[in-house]
Amino acid sequence: MKKSSKKNEYLGYGLFVLICGGIGALFGFLSDSILKDFFEAYVDNDKIYREMFNIYFILLIIVLGYLVHIIIHEAGHLVFGLLTGYKFVSFRIGSFTLIREDGMFKWKRFNIPGTAGQCLMMPPEKKDGKFPFVIYNLGGVFMNSIFVAIGIIIAMAIKELNLINLIFILTNIAGIIVVVTNGIPMKIGGVANDGHNVISMIKDRHARDSFHLQLKVNGLLTEGMRMKDMAYEELKLPEGLDYRRPINFSRIFLVYNYHLDKMDFEKAREVLEFGSKYVDDTILVYKMEFAAEKLFLEIIGECDERKIDTIYSKNLKKYIKASKFMISKKRVMMAYEGLYKEKRESALVYLQELKKLSKMYPIKGEAKMEIMLANFIEKELEAKNI
């Protein structure tokens, strides 16, 4: 299984390189044909050439175009999700997250390191075990494709080759990159793209069920429901699943948080022990989340110095530092500074940060659980005279 996983990852890298090479060849063709007249017209003007046609300018436009297409991509998930019966939950660009609360749209703060944006929705109820998932998952690619097509039409309609036309061409190239890297099934850096997820769910009923459950739980948590109040029968880990698949591995976190919310740390520890058999084969963000929770349970449990120092690696430190809008990391660091390092003041700083973040956190059910756990840590500090 591990060899197959590595092979698929290398194939993903190879395909990604080929795609980038193809896009580079396309850009070369555009430079030699469509942009030829434009360059010939201005190449003699050193000032304009310096300001407008150096490589940094071209890269800047492509990067900005890419960011615009990320927003368009997430909007595509939203639009096509609504068309297929999904309900709006949250729309995130960077750490700025838009949610609907008390009938009004409000801005909150949340981030996942390594992700530029995310549109999450509440899925429709299953009918005979089925629900629409293809159009929702490919909605981002559809929307990018529509805007690329419009951009090409506009670029072709502008007779005179000028700066505006060049910007449209470069932005279209960025859009094509987004379409290709999200639409063609592949894994980039071990992370499955939209096309790969669709193929996985078409082939595997369990993957479809995991996807539906993950969206449903996130929607309920955003509405304010606690993990401990959800039906355990829906959450429990089924036998026969390939938990090496990230979409299935995510269920481990759901069950873990269910026990964590019930303050049943022993059951939570058992869930992580089960997950340890598969964590090496999952994606990086899940590895880091798993390590963070493993660190937390070790601190409030045996608090073995050797184990803690091993778990709290340089990579985990970087991840936690980058996760400044993830409320659970405030709780982990509060426990680390207070119960392990025995630095009460440092722990209380994280407590205040946690409480402050909870007011702006989009996932209300999770925020309530984290406040409860932070209060538990504070009581532990008092009990141990720290």
Q: Which of 199, 217, 234 is the last residue of a domain?
A: 199
Task: Provide the domain limits for residue 174.
Answer: 2-86+131-199
Residue 25's pLDDT is 53
Domain co-membership, 176 together with 31: yes
Burial class (CB in 10 A: 0-12, 13-18, 19+), 185: middle
User: Residue 110: inside a domain, yes or no?
Assistant: no
Domain co-membership, 211 together with 184: no
Domain co-membership, 228 together with 372: yes
Residue 114's pLDDT is 67
Residue 6's pLDDT is 47
DSSP symbols for 153-171: HHHHH--S--HHHHHHHHH
Distance of alpha carbon 383 from alpha carbon 386, whole angstroms: 8
Domain co-membership, 166 together with 218: no
Domain co-membership, 216 together with 323: yes
User: Residue 112: inside a domain, yes or no?
Assistant: no
Residue 103's pLDDT is 82
Q: State pTM to two decimals.
A: 0.84
Domain co-membership, 166 together with 37: yes
Could you give the 3-state DSSP secondary structure of residue 231?
coil
Number of domains observed in the structure of the chain: 2
Domain co-membership, 149 together with 252: no
DSSP E strands, the chain: 87-93, 96-101, 104-109, 117-122, 187-188, 191-192
Domain co-membership, 353 together with 290: yes
Angle at which helix 364-383 crosses helix 246-261, to 10 degrees, equals 50
Domain co-membership, 194 together with 208: no
Q: Which of 144, 168, 199 is the last residue of a domain?
A: 199
Mean pLDDT, contiguous 10-residue spans, the chain (386 residues): 46 51 52 50 50 68 92 96 96 90 88 81 95 96 95 82 80 92 80 87 93 97 97 94 93 98 98 97 94 98 96 97 96 98 97 97 97 98 94
Domain co-membership, 316 together with 248: yes
